[in-house]
Amino acid sequence: MDHTIICRCEEVTLEDINNTAEKYGCSARELKLRTRAGMGYCGGRTCRPAVDAVVQEATGEEPGNNLPLKVQPPVRPTSLATLGGQHQS
């Protein structure tokens, strides 16, 4: 089970997350930044609940009313042309 991939885009395993949590004793946010879990191409759309659950268990942080890991725009894969305002219509 430890070698099971949790975040598919960045290929982060359960073991990677648990080891990082153990080594640095860090917050959910830091854990995400160190492992890149949930930070790949899909922006966490596939793994967000799984990453939340694993990070919660690893850090002991209970779910609060704020989203555990902040949502950052763009929330979809977006081309530079679109971000620069050069969309095709």
Partner 1 sequence: MRDIVIIGAGPAGLSAAIACREWDLDTLVIDEFPKPGGRLVGQLHQEPDGEWWNGIKETQKLVDKAEAFNTEIKCGVSVHHIEKVDNGFAVHTNQGVIDTENLLVASGAAESPAPLPGWTLPGVMSIGAAQVMTNVHRVRVGNKGIVAGVNVLSAAIARELQLAGVELHSMALPAVNTVTKDAGNPKKVMDGLVRIAHLAPSAFLRFGSKFAKAAWIRNLAVNFYPKGGVKMWGMPIHIRKAIVSINGTTQVESVTVCKVTADGEPVAGSEETIEVDFVCIAGGLYPLAELAAVIDCPFQYVEELGGHVPVHNQQMETPVEGLYVAGNITGIESSKVAGAQGTLAGLSIAKKNEKSNAELDIKIAEAMKQVKTIRETASIQFHPGINAGRKKVEKAYQAYEQANA
Q: Evaluate whether 10 touches 40 at the Cβ level (below 8 Å).
A: yes
CB 61, min distance to partner 1, A: 12
Query: Of these, 15, 24, 41, 78, which contacts partner 1 (CB under 8 A)?
Result: 78
Binding-site size for partner 1 (CB under 8 A) equals 34
CB 32, min distance to partner 1, A: 15
Residue 19's closest CA among 53, 43, 54? 54
- CB atoms closer than 10 angstroms to residue 3: 8
Token representation of residue 67: 């989203």
Query: Of these, 23, 60, 65, 84, which contacts partner 1 (CB under 8 A)?
Result: 65
